Copies of this chain bind each other. A is one copy, B any other.
Amino acid sequence: MKFQYHLEKKEKNTKARLGSFTYQGKTYETPMFMPVGTQATVKTLSPEEIKEMGAGIILSNTYHLWLRPGEEIVNQAGGLHRFMNYDGPILTDSGGYQVFSLAKNKKKDITEEGVFFKSHIDGKKLFLTPELSIAIQNKLDSDIAMSFDECPPARADYDYLKRSVERTLRWAKRGKDVHQNQNQMLFGIVQGGPYKDLREYSAKETVKLDFDGYSVGGVANDHESKEDMYKAIDYSVPFLPEDKLRYLMGIGEPIDLIEGVIRGIDLFDCVSPTRLARHGHALTKFGKINLKNAQYKKDFTPISEHCDCYACQHYTKAYIRHLITAEETFGSRLLSIHNIRFLVHLMEEIRSAIKNDNLLSFREEFIQNYYGEHDEQK
């Protein structure tokens, strides 16, 4: 279902912006963090839990759903919302990132037509094109579809990135030409690495194609530096229209959410809160803690005294540590709830700082707490 972004307010000292949109009668505020439900489920959680923690849009992965259970089955089920019982907004990515990352150790072949690669499940040969990505997303019936872009490797050189930007533009146009789902928005993706001229060119040309929203792509790469990430945003955002959503793909580290918002980003997604949970890690105001550490064995306090999530309201670190150690999935469920709530709450604080025009001092305080030295990590 399409929805309209409204720019509510710009922060005084940064490019941060407060916005909103209404979906199925409910109003959501941006900037927003979007939890990831890779395989039509946010790992370990129910849709009710996701909504209870204040999340809005969730993301699901086209590549994974294409392979399993297949977009036809999701379509016959009545689309992704009905299939997974989520009545909030859903965004699907294009599959491009997974094709380039999951298949990275296998032979893949990028042609102008599309990408040949092997399935990470059974090694089957597959071919994904801009047209096919859009056709799959049309059938999944998400609310926001993403253009199929070429995700350049980390530290790609200027010439590679220049060619990649051109190809991504051609692919964006091909995808837009076949996009048919009238209830689905389509976002374009800006590429160009850390290069100012490439980002400007990519942004301007992508905007000319007139998408429903825009994404800053090519930053969710482990090898890329934060500096390059910030450049990518800084060089792209000025050329994006004010009345459309701006989405920084695959980024979820707390400080990056703040830095992204300061640079004009509205939407973020990342698997990190649920992935950290499976490894026994909890996000807190005073940094990330590892509940597997022996110091939490007899710690009968919640992960955070300040947190209003279900895990912190009812369970102690000692109990969650026990569950994680004993490999009980209720442990990663509790930590997933906490970690997602932490990021959702961080966005609430960020929005409040935008309203009060004190986002920069909020950032200072956050850094001091999160990265500062503490007697105890609580």
Contact = CB atoms under 8 A, between A and B. Distances in A.
B73 A328 contact: no
Number of this chain's copies in the complex: 2
7 contacts: A41-B331, A44-B329, A45-B330, A64-B326, A68-B325, A77-B316, A84-B319
Contact of A322 (B39, B325, B331): B39
Q: Looking at A41, A314, A323, which has the most chain B CB atoms within 10 Å of its CB?
A: A41
**Interface range on chain A (Cβ under 8 Å from partner):** 35 or more
B41 A330 contact: yes
A83 B330 CA distance: 14
B325 A40 contact: no
A183 interface: no
Interface string A280-310: 0000000000000000011010000000000
Contact of A73 (B297, B330, B332): B297
Interface in A202-251: none
Given A69-B297, A297-B69, A325-B69, A318 B77 contact: yes
Interface of A: 39-41, 43-46, 64, 68-69, 73, 76-78, 83-85, 297-298, 300, 314-316, 318-319, 321-323, 325-326, 328-333
Contacts of A41: 323, 328, 330-331
B39 A326 contact: yes
A363 B64 CA distance: 46
B73 A326 contact: no
Contacts of A314: 85
Contact of A69 (B39, B78, B315, B322): B322
Given A39-B328, A44-B333, A78-B300, 17 more contacts: A40-B322, A41-B331, A44-B329, A45-B330, A46-B330, A68-B322, A69-B297, A69-B325, A69-B326, A73-B297, A73-B318, A73-B322, A76-B300, A77-B316, A83-B319, A85-B314, A329-B333
Nearest to A44: B329
A344 B94 CA distance: 44
A331 B43 CA distance: 10
Nearest to A45: B330
Q: Looking at A40, A44, A330, A333, which has the most chain B CB atoms within 10 Å of its CB?
A: A330
A286 to B, nearest CB: 23
Contacts of A84: 319
A169 B319 CA distance: 36
Contacts of A315: 85
A224 to B, nearest CB: 29
A333 B300 CA distance: 27
Contacts of A78: 300
Given A315-B85, A319-B77, A319-B84, A328 B43 contact: yes
Contacts of A45: 330
A298 B83 CA distance: 11
Nearest to A78: B300
A78 B323 CA distance: 17
Contacts of A331: 41
Contacts of A68: 322, 325-326
Contacts of A300: 76-78
Contacts of A43: 328-330
Contacts of A40: 319, 322-323
